[in-house]
Chains A and B, each alone.
Chain A
């Protein structure tokens, strides 16, 4: 990728602009949105393997009843770190990377609004995760209370490493807030003349809504972990009943952040799918306006449903009813989006390149995850599902075959634009099919395990759960190793020999400003804004 960009940087640069620096200084000090996008995506890919390794350790331990590999203490640390890394270290940075690469090009802007802030947003992340990762090397346990770190397990009973965890979360939060700030300002202030909000690419719309969600709830997470820190060290009792506090308050505060957080994880992905499906159906996105309103509805409703993570805590009847009804209601705008995607495909002219494969895999499997979500919304049923493997199945369906698949789709779709190199379609298909098979083999049986009564976050289980656990482990390994293919594909496209030259448009049905640029894109683009009609 270095070569590609530096080859064309000078040729297409406007006067006064220059190509990228050489060496590591370039990556350390860059304020170029393309470089920062690359940094985010590379970081995310590395973290995918780190978190994935932890997942495989977990699945190995769960291959059989009895102690297989690690003791329960380390197991709890693995589940906690796996969750934290995947949520904060893979999905969020990858989506931020896509935002950085694509938003300026899609709106005809030369860069993000605040380029130096952009650099800092990224570089906070390696520091944050080094701090978090270092807890595994400390004497005493790393964080072992689940990625949801409920009090008092994480406050009064939390290990010493919890404080490092708190600071790490603060840094990740700051990174996300600054990135979101940058995105909102860029989208509001730097659109090319003639591009009204309702003419923006839908990916940009989805990221705009996501950025507002981030700005609203990441500070709440910051407040939550600060209160934890104060309870642990400054004798406050926010979450400690001893001093008049309330452990349930922790859950309220956390999930007030936590539920919008899961929409933060998926909405940019929805945007990606809304770009890819029209291209490979050669048909305009069905219902652009309703897609925008549906996204806004989902984000808005997302603030009103947090207590559905707390149905068994002893909530009053009326509260449970309210949250059940509003949670069910979220299915309506989400359903509208799914129907719109299907309607885009219907009577289109469809081809099945890898981005489209991942988009279709997403469409089917995210919908399945949505169904289990609807079942979870029903309070009496939730009494049986909660904290069981049914929940684990649900969120892996919506996060892996949901968010992660959209990230894969995005990379396959735009990598040719970024690098000027078409990825190997054959290998891409292998990656897709192995991922789909691995993913389903790993997570479909978890629905049954949860229904049969297997709790989550346990390192060892009763004998009747053995068979399905073994199937899940096999699937996890298939899925995990399939990602090595992706690694190779990305490496090949970035550093491999140039195959044939690519056109600007790359894909026959692609529309949008980024597809008017050469492939690979020059280091600086849209130094003069295009006029939109």
Chain B
């Protein structure tokens, strides 16, 4: 059975399998994003604006404390702070908060804030209707701005959740600049 022709079919099937697995590796990327969205891990499901339903009930029986935390990545020379440390919200209630940013790099720059939410079981319930993190943000040298986030905690959040943290990490977008609006609605220049 050392005839090459005998093996051709099996070899082709196996090679097809190998190519499939290589493609599978790349498929893992959107698949991973999908799974994270589905389970709401890290707030992955709320990277775009969520419009609250018109008759969303506000749960006045409890409040959730939302902490705000900022990180500036790498050696990017930026000031980036939340204007409030935390806020108490009723589930279903829309709140507006601001983040202050100042470009201290010495030149113009485009940045993006990447959000992250913890705990992971509650992350998918923190929804934003407007956020400076949805788009890249352009800053000329020394520009200062207050950037808004409109958010609410969905009323279906489990009863055992009393605290959440919303964190933003600010990244330099040089090399990744997208063709999109670089200002967010409600951004206040100072």
A contact residues vs B (CB 8 Å cutoff): 109-111, 113-114, 177, 181, 184-185, 188-190, 215-220, 222-224, 227, 235, 237-238, 241-244, 246, 249, 252-253, 256, 314-317, 529
Contacts and interface: CB of A to CB of B under 8 A. Distances in A.
Interface of B: 1-2, 4, 6-7, 10-11, 14-15, 17-19, 21-26, 28-29, 32, 39, 41-42, 73, 112, 114, 118, 120-121, 169, 171-173, 175-176
Given A177-B18, A189-B7, A241 B25 contact: no
Given A181-B15, A235-B175, A316 B28 contact: no
Nearest to B22: A219
B163 to A, nearest CB: 16
Contact of A244 (B15, B114, B121): B114
Nearest to B1: A190
A223 B32 CA distance: 15
A249 B41 CA distance: 13
Contacts of B41: 316
A252 B22 CA distance: 15
Given A220-B22, A241-B171, A252-B28, 13 more contacts: A109-B1, A185-B7, A188-B10, A189-B7, A189-B10, A219-B22, A223-B24, A241-B73, A241-B169, A243-B173, A253-B28, A314-B118, A315-B120
28 contacts: A113-B7, A181-B18, A185-B7, A189-B1, A189-B10, A190-B1, A215-B14, A215-B17, A216-B21, A217-B21, A218-B18, A219-B19, A219-B25, A220-B22, A220-B24, A220-B25, A223-B22, A224-B25, A227-B29, A235-B175, A241-B114, A242-B173, A243-B173, A243-B176, A252-B28, A253-B25, A314-B120, A317-B120
A201 B17 CA distance: 26
A181 B114 contact: no
Given A246-B32, A252-B32, A256-B28, A181 B22 contact: no
A110 B3 CA distance: 12
Contacts of A224: 25
B49 to A, nearest CB: 16
B11 A220 contact: no
Contact of B11 (A181, A227, A238, A314): A181
Nearest to B26: A223
A235 B18 CA distance: 27
A215 B21 contact: yes
B10 A185 contact: yes
Contacts of B112: 242
Contacts of A110: 2
Contacts of B169: 241
Contacts of A220: 21-22, 24-25, 28
B172 A242 contact: yes
B89 to A, nearest CB: 23
Contacts of B1: 109, 189-190, 529
A69 B116 CA distance: 43
A317 B41 CA distance: 11
Contacts of A249: 28-29, 32
Contact of A215 (B4, B18, B175): B18
A225 to B, nearest CB: 10
